[in-house]
Chains A and B, each alone.
Chain A
Amino acid sequence: MAAPRFAIVGLGMVTGPYPEGITARAAEAEAARLAIADAGLRREDIDGAVQLRRTAGGGERTPWADAFTRMLGLPAKFFYTVGRGGALAGLGIMTAMGSLDLGIAKYVMLAGAVEDWTSSQRTKKQGFRGMVHSEKAGYWGKPFGDLRAPSHHSFLAARHMHEYGTTSRQLGAIAVQERAWACQNPLAKMYGRPITVEDHQSSPFVVEPYHLLDICLVSDGAVAFILTTAERARGLAKKPVYVRGLGMGEVADELWWEKKNYTHMAVRTAKEQAFAQAGITLGDVDVAQLYDCFTAEVLFQLEDYGWAKKGEGGPFVEAGNIGPGGSIPVNTSGGLLSAYHYGDLTGLSEAVLQLRGDAGERQVPGAEIALVTGHGGELISPGMCSIHTSLVLGV
């Protein structure tokens, strides 16, 4: 295992819903301000910036990209926008490491924000159910009623059920355990609202086989973090959280052609690369933040990473392995399902808190290695949620 070369040194979070008049831009600027203060840096130290923006699926390329560093008040030498659906943090870190490595920047601010809750409240008044997000040219399914992520993501659950006999109750066990974590996170939207598998089963079908409680939240919020070299990280205010491994996978590499991208995610190469760089095996992961836009994605990853054999994720989650007190704590903030949906920035922010030992009631004792995954794609073709990013953080 090579010594880690890069570290996260500052974290800022803003949770929604936003007060009247606060936009995603403003929230992003506030998160960046908090991250700078958290690191013990000054604004003038930030010389590079990466805007993390969900570009597909639930989001779209921002029309106000040029405002990023102006809004943040950062004297950065450069900024650019990165994102593939919910895969933001892993891609952002991959590119930011290049600028640090080349000496182009010393401290890079990576920040992202969503205003999905605000926009869903707006489109609701226009007669839509929630926010609208299928206006991209070439988006296939719109005239067939494929209008929201559950319209195509539910194929994944349906296909896994067909091939392996996975049940809705088993998917419900994922929702229940993530909710149990959320009940230990005062910032989580669903804090103080525990659920049972019966609650999951009696929640209405949205897109069958998905019940309402299989589906992630719609959120406002922002996360910002600062990446620098391991050397610079040592003298700063907070314990550095090192980037120990980073890997990438695409379903088009194999799964799309084999029609397995409805029962698997593109974990294979992403895991191999990230775990090899980190010099770890699965048993070394103390806490896992797995991208959980829907319950089945969590199930797939538990199998694809190897916590359960392929097809046996259902019994694995039913046995309570991922909740508080389970064998592998998963999505300890409550995740996208029960805390807040900022793409993989939800998992990244939680991993940083866990590794610093700052996760309060839900702290996983002695957590030293965290896995954070990202997931996303253009959805031009139905169900091809393409990229998988695997990020290993450690202290």
Chain B
Amino acid sequence: MTYAKPLPNVDDDSRPQWEGFKQRKFLLFRCKTCGKWYWPKSFCREHENEPFFGNLAWTEASGRGKVFAFNVHHMAFHPGFKDEIPYVYALVELDEGPLFGTNIVGIDPKDVRVGMPVEVTYEDITPEWTLPKFRPAR
């Protein structure tokens, strides 16, 4: 069956992270000098940076966090989402610090709460693409 929803729009700055999802690795951009975590890709704010992000690297993170804010989509803007509504799109505050945009799955939208602990769960949507969604922490 053809996958009817939109595929990720990847650019060269985000590509390594998408490769990671495929391998079940939750990568964030991390400073090797001070250990601070970033997403999306950024220079480290804590000190001078080496040329071309030399002091930062995509690094495996916990894939755990808490719901920071969420909404419930009641209309399908794209025909591929017609069978999904109502679905939850959320900002998850990762344990490492950054906010991450994703779906909250495995729970009735009515039961989602700000502050709820969640963890990553991977969904292989095509042979090429894996989506990092989040579910209530087990």
- Contact indicator per residue, chain B 62-95, by CB within 8 Å of chain A (1) or not (0): 0000001111111111110100101101010100
* Interface-facing stretch out of A19-27, A129-137, A184-192, A313-321: A129-137
Contact: B9 with A136, CB < 8 Å? yes
Contact call A205/B69, Cβ cutoff below 8 A: no
Question: Are the CB atoms of B69 and A139 closer together than 8 Å?
Answer: no
Q: Are A135 and B89 in contact (CB under 8 A)?
A: no
Contact A141/B89 with A154-B71, A382-B99 known, Cβ cut-off 8 Å: yes
Does any Cβ of B come within 8 Å of A99's Cβ? no
B35 at the interface (CB under 8 A from A): no
Which stretch, A58-66, A206-214, A231-239, A327-335, touches the partner chain B?
A: A206-214
* B75 smallest CB distance to A (angstroms): 5
Residue of B nearest to A137 (CB): B11
Which residues of A have CB within 8 Å of B39? 381
Q: Is A366 engaged at the interface, CB distance under 8 Å to the other chain?
A: no
Contacts of B9 in A (CB 8 A): 134-140, 142
Partner of A145, one of B11, B70, B103: B103
* Stretch touching chain B among A155-163, A173-181, A193-201: A155-163
* Cβ-neighbour of B91 out of A129, A136, A257, A382 (below 8 A): A382
A268 part of interface (Cβ distance < 8 Å): no
A137 x B125 contact (CB < 8 A): no
Asked if A77 lies at the interface with its beta carbon under 8 angstroms from chain B, I say: no
Q: In the complex, are the beta carbons of A128 and B78 less than 8 A apart?
A: yes
The tally of residues in B whose CB lies under 8 Å from a CB in A reads 40
Known: A127-B79, A145-B87, A381-B40. A138 touches B72 (CB 8 A): no
A143→B129 contact, CB < 8 A: yes
Chain A residues touching B, majority SS: loop
Once A138-B13, A139-B9 are accepted as A-B contacts, the answer to whether A152 and B74 lie under 8 Å apart by CB is no
Residues of B within 8 A of A205 (CB): 72, 74-75
How many residues of chain A are within 8 Å of chain B by beta carbon? Answer: 42
Q: B79, A128: Cβ atoms under 8 Å?
A: yes
Asked if B49 is an interface residue, CB under 8 A from chain A, the answer is: no
A158 near B14 (CB under 8 angstroms)?
Answer: no
In the complex, per-residue mask of B36-70: 1 if CB is within 8 Å of any chain A CB, else 0: 00011000010000000000000000000000111
**Can you show 15 pairs from A to B with CB atoms below 8 A apart?**
A129-B75, A134-B9, A145-B81, A147-B77, A147-B78, A151-B77, A155-B70, A155-B71, A158-B70, A207-B74, A207-B89, A208-B71, A262-B68, A380-B40, A382-B91
* Chain B interface residues (CB < 8 Å from chain A): 5-11, 13-14, 39-40, 45, 68-79, 81, 84, 86-87, 89, 91, 93, 99, 101-103, 114, 125, 129, 131, 133
**Which are the 10 A-B pairs with shortest beta-carbon distances?**
A382-B101, A138-B11, A208-B72, A127-B79, A147-B77, A154-B71, A137-B11, A205-B74, A159-B69, A155-B69
Tell me the A residues contacting B by CB distance below 8 Å: 127-130, 132, 134-148, 150-152, 154-155, 158-159, 162, 204-210, 257, 259, 262, 380-383
